[in-house]
Chains A and B, each alone.
Chain A
């Protein structure tokens, strides 16, 4: 079981179902945040939760959080519980879009970035891990995690 879940997570790459190919929306970093929504719209928290727990998104490879139904959660990084109390939406957005801007050595992948990566498998090349809409949904969801 444990092995299957890991395989499913690690092998999600094979199917190549990534974010659709489209030009990245421009954004502006102010301090340690991206204050404006990437889409100009507010995300939808329920959809955001579904993105976070989906094996395709890879969040739970490293993070754990308030997901009692998910048996396999990682412990390489902070628990997502309470992130909405620790960070503003703009700060969360930058951490998802490109956490390496805050800590070059971080192991957290940049979820909305296609440049500066090495040897990306062809199924994923030129595509961000998440779409702009998915980023906004995840930001909206994480903002609800207040305790």
Chain B
């Protein structure tokens, strides 16, 4: 009886056990010295072009209201500092969490009376990269808002679900096998601390959702539409797993 209980415990998938704080590593830590240098040197970091585009958009008047982001928020280096480190945040109007992209689009439609920017569009990536860059180096610090709890738990469920034709869960790769090689790629711990980021494989900037979609496609699972609540819930969970890691936007990844 005792023995079989022990066997069950030992065979149980090692999920729920989050990576201990001391072992948490950013995707950065698994990169080659060359790719690390590309991220560190802002003059060679290809994501900086997008950040500069974002700065221009921040200051440009637009929409029927003819207002710029800067007209409400002034200097981003002050008003936007730390914001990316605590998003997604609860939005009372929608009754659910929103991520930075959704917040930016809410400001566009409500305050600027402009059309929302499409997911993965150059302008949305630029504004979101510019805002997130204001938190570069700051530790991820998800808020202690009890309203977020059910959404974070929903995200954790997706993370632990075995899915797709390959019947894998996110955790089987990112909690149980990080640091090992999946064919030629080192499996990172799935931290969302560098987004939007420049991915060498894409030859482009991309959002966290684009990354998640890639992993789902790899698992031969259905992916979600950009902006789907499931992605926001996953992001909430990933942010809480990544607590304490520094924001690296604009990061570079292989």
- Residues on A facing B (Cβ under 8 Å): 1-7, 9-11, 13-14, 18, 55, 58, 60-62, 71-76, 100, 103-105, 107, 109-110, 117-125, 127, 129
Query: Within the complex, which residue of B163, B181, B201 is in contact with A76, where a contact is CB–CB below 8 Å?
Result: B181
The answer to whether B185 touches A121, judged by C-beta atoms less than 8 angstroms apart, is no
* One of B85-93, B124-132, B136-144, B165-173 contacting the partner: B165-173
Q: B111 at the A/B interface (Cβ < 8 Å)?
A: no
Q: CB distance B201 to A3 under 8 Å?
A: yes
Considering only CB atoms, which chain B residue lies closest to A129 in the complex? B165
Residues in B lying within 8 Å of A, measured CB to CB: 11-13, 161-168, 172-173, 176-177, 180-185, 187, 200-201, 214-215, 217-218, 220-223, 254
Q: Is the CB of A2 within 8 A of B162?
A: no
Least distance between B128 CB and chain A CB atoms (Å): 24
Q: In the complex, what's the smallest C-beta–C-beta distance from B206 to chain A, in angstroms?
A: 13
Main SS class of interface, A: loop
A residues near B223, Cβ cutoff 8 Å:
121
Measured CB to CB, the closest approach of chain A to B4, in angstroms, equals 15
CA distance A104 to B165 in the complex (A): 16
Which residue of the partner chain, among B163, B218, B254, contacts A3 with CB atoms under 8 Å?
B254
Determine whether the beta carbon of A76 is less than 8 Å from that of B180: yes
Complex contacts, A14 vs chain B, CB 8 Å: 217
B184's partner among A5, A118, A121, A127 (CB-CB below 8 A) is A5
Given A9-B182, A109-B165, A117-B164, 16 more pairs with CB closer than 8 A? A3-B185, A6-B201, A58-B166, A76-B180, A104-B11, A105-B13, A107-B173, A107-B177, A117-B167, A118-B163, A119-B161, A120-B163, A120-B165, A120-B221, A121-B222, A124-B164
A5 to B223, CA, bound (A): 21
Q: In the assembled complex, which residues on chain A have CB atoms less than 8 Å from the CB atom of B220?
A: 13, 120-121, 123-124
Residues of A within 8 Å of B184, CB to CB, are 1-3, 5-6, 71-72
CB distance from A41 to the nearest CB of B (A): 25
Minimum CB distance partner of B177 in chain A = A76
> How distant is B94 from chain A, measured CB to nearest CB, in Å?
25
Known: A6-B185, A61-B183, A103-B11. A121 touches B164 (CB 8 A): yes
Question: Is B183 within 8 A of A118, CB to CB?
Answer: no
State the CA gap A107–B219 with chains docked (Å). Answer: 12
Are B165 and A117 interface neighbours, CB within 8 A?
yes
Q: Which residue on A lies nearest to B166, using beta carbons?
A: A109
CA distance A121 to B165 in the complex (A): 7
Q: Which of B165, B183, B221, B222 has the most CB of A within 10 A?
A: B183
- A100 and B167 CA atoms in complex are apart in Å by 10
Known: A14-B217, A107-B172, A121-B217. A62 touches B182 (CB 8 A): yes
**Nearest A residue to B15, CB-CB:** A105
Q: Do A121 and B221 form a contact, CB below 8 Å, given A76-B181, A103-B11, A110-B167? A: yes
Within the complex, the shortest CB–CB distance from A32 to chain B, in Å, comes to 15
Bound-state CA distance A76–B172 (Å) is 11
Asked if A10 contacts B181 (CB within 8 A), the reply is no
Using Cβ atoms and an 8 Å threshold, which residues of chain B touch A110?
A: 167
